[in-house]
């Protein structure tokens, strides 16, 4: 018997034996071998045979980065990074649950244990028959009454023990839904405000954080005197949720806030506070970006630009005074430009409001009405804007978001500029050549190590 198949075959036979199923070992071996010959993964092959012969559903073994919403009967092996208790009300009764973060070699995820499994920070555990649900925009792992939690010998899982989330992450690298975020920021703006929740009024702190790579909004659900404008703070175990398409740092009750040894000074953040244009290929891979500058050429002015009409109730763009939500309304005129900006490394949609449209075209809403009336066609304004802007270079500043309509920058400022395309192309070539040179000529690498070819 193939020594690689033997232990898996024994596992199948033992599992089927627990159900009282009589099986022919030779048949099981033959079917297992055939499935493997057809490149079926071993775990999936075992699952198929156990389901076929014994109606047994094996847990689906997953890495944390592979988890999706609404999964059941899953098995994960991970290390407890953080764990805290919380008292919640369930069906009129108080219950203590255990919340925290677990980590494996692929990433980190939040978890909730609904029973006391005796877990402690640092434990390495195998959890069988867990399930997931969405929490804070990401799949959260839940250990319930039917879950089995087995503590493992930590020495057998070195990758999980060596997984290090202690190094701070820069703001430009943060992604939607990330848990267990550790970063160092300077508080650029901070405001306390009262909000209404299902449990009554609550005081939160909102503001803008900055480091040497980016700015991002933050929300602290627990007021802290450390979150004062000008302070540099180190935060651990925060999480990221998007708000209006922009990643937002969320500071909760399990987040720690302290002062780092070295504060972020003005020179560290000068390029972010007064941003220089960033290449589109450097920004479009982010989930969103707050207050960034870009420049490029207008290659298209999209339909729906120029003089438009909006619903006075919901602000949607409407046609013939008909809103799909509010029916017939007395629409109000507005102006905008929706165009495509390209800088040679990427392209995105940029949106300019009425004030910026007036700034770059000279068209006020009143003038646009006159042009539309003179031509007996509102589209005449759009066509005039298209003729004026096509091919021109612009520098824009604003917030970039990703959504169902693609990548969009909603501008807060805009101006015409002159771009030295030859110099830009030369810089790009140098960067590409530098990357190739580093790959092919990096010292200490074996032959072909790290090659792109």
- Tell me the DSSP string of 91-141: TTEEEEEEEEEEEETTEEEEEEESS-----TT-EEEEEEEEEEEETTEEEE
Residue-wise pLDDT for 320-338, tens only, equals 899 998 999 999 999 999 9
Domain definitions of the chain by residue range: 6-57, 64-162, 171-273, 280-421
> For position 290, what pLDDT does the model report?
93
Q: In this predicted structure, what is the pLDDT of residue 20?
A: 67
Residues 64-162: name the CATH superfamily.
Nucleic acid-binding proteins (2.40.50.140)
User: What pLDDT score does 64 carry?
Assistant: 86
Q: What is the DSSP string of 296-336?
A: EEEEEE-TT-EEEEE-TTT--B-BTTEETTTEE---EEEEE
Distances, alpha carbon 246 to alpha carbons 10, 163, 198, 199, 240, in Å: 52, 28, 25, 27, 10
The CA distance from 245 to 216, in Å, is: 12
Compute the C-alpha angle 386/387/390, nearest 5°: 70
Bin 421: left if φ > 0, else alpha if -120 < ψ < 50, else beta.
Answer: alpha
Q: What is the pLDDT of residue 3?
A: 63
Helix, strand, coil abundance in the chain, percent, nearest 5: 25, 40, 35
Rounded distance between C-alpha atoms, residue 330 and residue 323, angstroms: 10
- Report the distance separating Cα 177 and Cα 139, nearest Å: 9
Q: Do the two domains 64-162 and 280-421 of this chain adopt the same fold?
A: yes
Q: Please give the pLDDT value at position 443.
A: 45
Predicted pLDDT of residue 79: 84
Please list the ranges in the chain whose pLDDT falls under 70. 1-3, 18-21, 55-58, 136-137, 154-166, 177, 197-199, 421-425, 427-453
Q: Are 54 and 16 in contact (CB under 8 A)?
A: yes
What is the secondary structure of 216-278 as a DSSP string?
A: EEEEESS--TT--TT-EEEEEEEEEEEETTEEEEEE-TT-EEE--SS---HHHHHHHHTTPP-
Which position has the token pair 């867990």? 130
CATH code of 280-421, in short, is: 2.40.50.140
Task: Compute the Cα dihedral for 137, 143, 146, 149 and give only its sign.
Answer: positive
Q: What is the CATH number of domain 171-273?
A: 2.40.50.140
Give the per-residue pLDDT at 432: 66
Q: What does the pLDDT read at residue 5? A: 81
């Amino acid at each position: 018997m193939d020594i690689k198949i033997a232990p898996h075959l024994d596992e199948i036979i033992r599992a089927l034996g627990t159900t009282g199923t009589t099986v022919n070992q030779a048949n099981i071996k033959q079917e297992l071998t055939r499935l493997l010959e057809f490149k079926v993964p071993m775990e999936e092959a075992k699952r198929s045979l156990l389901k076929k012969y014994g109606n047994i559903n094996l847990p689906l073994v997953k890495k944390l980065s592979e988890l999706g919403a609404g999964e059941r009967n899953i098995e994960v092996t991970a290390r407890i990074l953080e764990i805290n208790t919380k008292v919640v009300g369930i069906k009129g009764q108080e219950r203590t649950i255990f919340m925290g973060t677990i980590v494996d070699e692929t990433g980190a995820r939040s978890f909730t244990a609904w029973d006391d499994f005796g877990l402690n920070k640092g434990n390495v555990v195998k959890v069988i028959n867990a399930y997931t649900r969405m929490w804070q925009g990401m799949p959260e792992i839940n250990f319930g009454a039917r879950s089995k939690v087995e503590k493992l010998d930590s020495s057998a899982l070195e990758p999980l023990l060596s997984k290090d989330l202690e190094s701070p992450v820069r703001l430009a690298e943060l992604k939607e839904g990330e848990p267990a975020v550790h970063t160092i920021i300077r508080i650029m703006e901070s405001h306390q405000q009262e909000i209404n929740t299902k449990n009554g009024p609550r005081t939160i702190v909102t503001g803008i954080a900055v480091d040497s790579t980016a700015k991002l909004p933050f929300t602290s659900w627990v007021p802290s005197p450390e979150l004062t404008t000008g302070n540099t703070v180190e935060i651990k175990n925060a999480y990221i949720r998007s708000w209006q398409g922009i990643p937002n740092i969320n500071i909760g009750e399990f987040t720690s806030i302290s002062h780092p040894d070295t504060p972020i000074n003005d020179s560290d953040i000068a390029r972010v506070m007064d941003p220089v244009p960033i290449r589109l290929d450097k920004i479009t891979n982010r989930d969103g970006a707050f207050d960034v500058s870009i420049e490029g050429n207008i290659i298209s002015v999209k339909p729906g630009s120029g003089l438009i009409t909006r619903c006075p109730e919901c602000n949607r763009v409407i046609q013939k005074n008909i809103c799909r939500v509010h029916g017939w309304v007395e629409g109000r005129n507005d102006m905008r430009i929706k165009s495509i900006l390209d800088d040679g490394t990427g392209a995105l949609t940029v949106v300019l409001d009425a004030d910026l449209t007036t700034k770059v075209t000279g068209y006020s809403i009143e003038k646009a009405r006159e042009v539309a009336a003179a031509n007996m066609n509102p589209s005449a304004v759009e066509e005039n804007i298209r003729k004026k802007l096509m091919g021109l270079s612009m520098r824009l500043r604003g917030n970039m978001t990703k959504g169902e309509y693609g990548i969009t920058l909603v501008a807060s400022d805009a101006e015409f500029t002159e771009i030295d395309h030859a110099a830009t192309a030369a810089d790009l070539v140098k960067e590409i050549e530098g990357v190739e040179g580093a790959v092919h000529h990096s010292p200490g690498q074996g032959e072909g190590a790290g090659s792109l070819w």
